[in-house]
Amino acid sequence: MRTILVTGSTGRLGRPTVAALQAAGHDVRALSRRAGPGLTTGDLLTGEGLRAALAGADTVVHLATGKAGTGDVAATERLLAASADAGVAHLVLISIVGIEDIPLRYYRDKVVIERLVRESGVPWTILRATQFHPFVAEMFTAQRFSPVVVGLTFPLQPIAVEDVADRLAELAGGAPAGRVPDIGGPERRTVRDLARVWTRATGSRRPVVPLALPGRLFGAYAAGHALVPGPEYGRTTFEDALTERVTR
């Protein structure tokens, strides 16, 4: 059993990761800026409570994130410095497939964060994953006032949050491993195809309209930079995830 501090513990990935770590028998500290049952209070942006949260922790699983430019880089710098001071033996970082090749500001921050982790002196593991199923679904629900559903023509390989959480728990229970193989979902499909899956699952009768766009961003996705070459890792398809959500 290890004592593991999880940042971003109340977020979309944090909740199942905390559950997976607890199921594996670890003593989990769920870091949050809020106080509450089962939470360890601390703020990565100000550093308040961070030293106490890290005291005696063997491992840190760093999942906390916000929108681009909201302080993720500074928060990671503060966490790494505090982890080094506390003698943390292993830091596990979640990152995203394709961050060097896809020109998004949020991805540029991830490149910097990975470099900070590698250079921190704290033993580390970095796992990159593809987009989560809920993120893809939100691309379509955001179009709820449109008479059509726009489906871009580039491919994605969405993965279940729970599959990523299980892998993170496995890595956190092991030794620092550096950059481990990227993981993606069991299917590589165009956004247009995923939009059709979404309309069927939700009962929407709106037509799906394919759209190709110019520019470096669309080109990077079209070139497959958001995909993981080789065997698929995830077990749950986008359709499976939607079906489970609709039938709950």
Give the mean pLDDT of 225-240. 91
Mean pLDDT of the chain: 94
Contacts of 98 (CB under 8 A, 6+ apart): 107, 220, 225, 226, 227
pLDDT surpassing 70 at residue 248: no
The single-letter DSSP state of residue 37 is T
pLDDT tens track for 150-183: 999 999 999 999 999 999 999 999 999 999 999 9
Q: Is 137 left (phi over 0), alpha (psi -120 to 50) or beta?
A: alpha
Instruction: Supply the pLDDT for residue 4.
Output: 98
> Are the beta carbons of 50 and 44 closer than 8 angstroms?
yes
Q: Is the pLDDT of residue 247 over 60?
A: no
List Cβ neighbours of 104 (8 Å cut-off, separation of 6 or more): 68, 217
Structure tokens at 66: 């916000």
pLDDT of res. 1: 84
Give Cβ neighbours of residue 247 (< 8 Å, ≥ 6 apart).
none
pLDDT level of residue 230 (50, 70, 90 thresholds): confident
Q: What percent of the chain has pLDDT over 70?
A: 98
pLDDT above 60 for 246 = no
**What is the arithmetic mean of pLDDT over 30-56?**
93
- Give the tens place of pLDDT for each residue, 14-42: 999 999 999 999 999 999 998 888 899 99
Q: In what order do the strands lie in the sheet with 124-129?
A: 39-41, 27-32, 3-7, 59-62, 90-96, 124-129, 178-179
CATH 3.40.720.10 describes domain 3-247 = no
Residue 245's pLDDT is 65
Distance in angstroms (rounded) separating the CA atoms of residues 48 and 15: 22
Q: Kindly indicate the confidence band of residue 121, based on its pLDDT and cuts at 50, 70 and 90.
A: very high
| Least-confidence region, from 28-32, 65-69, 191-195, 209-213 | 65-69
- Mean pLDDT calculated for residue range 79-91: 97
Mean of pLDDT values over 209-236: 92
Strands annotated E in 25-123 = 27-32, 39-41, 59-62, 90-96
Sequence-ordered list of residues with C-beta below 8 angstroms from that of 148, at least 6 positions apart, any chain: 206, 207, 208, 209
Instruction: State percent of the chain over pLDDT 90.
Output: 90
